[in-house]
Amino acid sequence: MIFAGLLLFVPLSLALAFWFHVSPIWVFVTGAAAIIPLAEWIRRATDHLANRAGPAIGGLLNITFGSIAELTLALFVLAGGHTEIVKAQITGSLIGTSLLGLGIAIVVGSWKREKQTFSQERAGLVSSLLILSVIALLVPALFDYTERGLFAGKTNNPGALDENLSICVSVVLILVYFANLIYTLITHRDVFSARKEPKDEQGPGWPLWKSLVVLFAATAVVAVESDLISGSLEVTAVQLGMTPLFLGVVVLALVGNAADLMAATYFARQDRMGLVMGLCVGSTVQVALLLAPILVLISYFMGRPINLVFTNPLELIAIVGAVFAVNSITRDGETTWFEGVLLIAVYALFGLAFFFATP
């Protein structure tokens, strides 16, 4: 099992950092590789807890712990003072799971199949949430442009206004996300659970104590590895010739979402595209409506406030382009291998643009 092999990077990264004191680039690489299997173990523990709790509480557990590895990594990067990299990581998570992750899953799942299908009701809801996400991320940027550009010299402390607006937008997004949770898991549960997919044979569920021990132990180790990664970010970027923007958008975002991407590919091969959409597109919605707002709110308590103003137009174009591409492909409730190729191509184009972007 690939995740079992990657667990070897946990003791290796710790040894390189605390005993051998090697170059920070090796600490960064081994620490990033270690987070991937740890995120998978967190996902497994959460799934077993969710299966024991029932659909409604299980959904809440998946929401709470589903992105804990990614959130922990972002918090340690934020604590290190790399606020712009955290915002770049948010962008990377939005486009990485929706374009690269979904694209690879569709290509792999469509092998020797004419097409794959999934719930159109769920696809329609996700499309609406994606559009809301784009609007919510565009409003702070347009507001900042208005205050700094059109009203330059007339607005007192536009940075403070950006921060206040970001906090208000974050609260609205979190409320919308939990309203979506109530809608899909309680009031309209029958609509979204109507289609039953084949179950994955995983054997008997874990006992409660085992799920909790794995969950908290993996989270604790993720925190340690995230601290190592944060401390080696700047040196790694210089030695690899990467800009902080590319490091956040591509490298850190893929590290935080690698477990979900691998799981999506596995489930796509089993023809469970509804679950794949939940992992990839649903994860994108979760980042926009929950993870990013939580980071904004927590950052103020940490004394390193970040806002939702993406000043680099390339980031906004990437987010809008990703949402447009995903909506175009998923709205009919079916996918083919060529649509997966198109999603991967769009991600590759954005990745190249971020790589060559001037710091």
Q: Are 77 and 229 in contact (CB under 8 A)?
A: yes
Q: What is the mean pLDDT of residues 278-293?
A: 87
Architecture of domain 2-356: Up-down Bundle (1.20)
Residue 10 has pLDDT above 60, yes or no: yes
Among the residue ranges 215-229, 269-283, 294-308, the one predicted with the least confidence is 269-283
Confidence of residue 194 (pLDDT cuts 50, 70, 90): very low
What is the signed CA dihedral for 264, 345, 295, 63, rounded to 10 degrees? -20
Q: What percent of the chain has pLDDT over 70?
A: 89
Has this prediction a pTM greater than 0.75? Answer: yes
Three-class DSSP labels, the chain: CHHHHHCCHHHHHHHHHHHHCCCHHHHHHHHHHHHHHHHHHHHHHHHHHHHHHCHHHHHHHHHHHCCHHHHHHHHHHHHCCCHHHHHHHHHHHHHHHHHHHHHHHHHHHCCCCCCEECCHHHHHHHHHHHHHHHHHHHHHHHHHHHHHHHCCCCCCCHHHHHHHHHHHHHHHHHHHHHHHHHHHHHHCHHHHCCCCCCCCCCCCCCCHHHHHHHHHHHHHHHHHHHHHHHHCHHHHHHHHCCCHHHHHHHHHHHHHHHHHHHHHHHHHHCCCHHHHHHHHHHHHHHHHHHHHHHHHHHHHHHCCCCCCCCCCHHHHHHHHHHHHHHHHHHCCCEECHHHHHHHHHHHHHHHHHHHHCCC
Going from N- to C-terminal start, the domains of the chain cover: 2-356
Asked if residue 15 has pLDDT above 60, the reply is: yes
The Cα–Cα gap between 139 and 114 comes to 41
- What amino acid occupies position 56? A
